[in-house]
């Protein structure tokens, strides 16, 4: 069996594209795995990230949550209602403005937030395990490579838009 020509750029780019698809598939598999985060409820990625946003920012209202999550006000409101039914989030009136409704975590929501933070610490630990003493350089390389991939995909998107 003959080896592929290392200078055959179209073949190499095709293999890179396939590898990227494999990375995206694995990421989606990991990211979409249902998790409870110590709440007794199976939470979607959107739900735990909403809990995360509310837990990180004190005195957050629906508009601010929507902007932070990059969703519409209606979508943010629906998510808060869903989380409130699970006793993870509650609405309350601002002390200085009775018209403003703010969001906070319930004790159960705080447990979910804390478990989510522990999950992120575990992820950091995996990076530390993989890179060892070279963690800072490894992160810099990853950031640079991911930025390049993002820029290439944006170029592809622009050209694809022009052709359609």
Per-residue pLDDT tens over the stretch 35-83? 999 999 999 999 999 999 999 997 899 999 999 999 999 999 999 999 9
pLDDT digits (tens, 9 = 90+) for 98-142: 889 999 999 999 999 999 999 999 999 999 999 999 999 999 999
**Together in a domain, 13 and 44:** no
**Together in a domain, 57 and 106:** yes
**Together in a domain, 55 and 102:** yes
**Together in a domain, 106 and 74:** yes
Tokens of 41: 């409820």
**Together in a domain, 39 and 24:** no
**Together in a domain, 151 and 81:** yes
Which domain range does residue 4 map to? 1-32
Contact status, residue 116 vs residue 37, Cβ threshold 8 Å = yes
**Together in a domain, 66 and 136:** yes
Binning pLDDT at 50, 70 and 90, where does residue 32 land?
confident
Structure confidence at residue 1 (pLDDT): 46
How many domains are there within the chain? Answer: 2
Q: 45-56 and 62-69 are packed helices; what angle lies between their axes, rounded to 10 degrees?
A: 120
Question: Domain holding 122: CATH number?
Answer: 1.10.10.10
Structure confidence at residue 164 (pLDDT): 58
**Together in a domain, 84 and 133:** yes
**Together in a domain, 28 and 46:** no
**Together in a domain, 153 and 102:** yes
Tokens of 30: 């990991």
Return the closest-CA partner of residue 103 out of 129, 131, 82, 132. 82
- State mean pLDDT over 135-155: 95
**Together in a domain, 82 and 155:** yes
């Amino acid at each position: 069996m003959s080896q592929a020509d290392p200078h055959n750029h179209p073949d190499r780019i095709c293999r890179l594209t396939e590898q990227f698809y494999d990375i995206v598939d694995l990421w989606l598999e990991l990211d979409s795995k249902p998790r409870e985060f110590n709440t007794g409820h199976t939470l979607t990625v959107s739900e735990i990230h909403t809990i995360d946003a509310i837990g990180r920012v004190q005195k957050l209202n629906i508009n601010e949550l929507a902007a932070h999550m990059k969703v519409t006000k209606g979508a943010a409101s629906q998510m808060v209602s869903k989380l409130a039914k699970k006793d993870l989030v509650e609405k309350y009136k601002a002390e200085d403005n009775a018209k403003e409704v703010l969001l906070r975590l319930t004790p159960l929501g705080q447990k979910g937030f804390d478990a989510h933070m522990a999950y992120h610490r575990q992820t950091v630990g995996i990076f530390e395990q993989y890179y060892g003493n070279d963690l800072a350089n490894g992160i810099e390389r990853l950031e640079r490579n991911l930025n390049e991939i993002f820029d290439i995909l944006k170029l592809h998107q622009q050209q694809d838009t022009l052709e359609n």
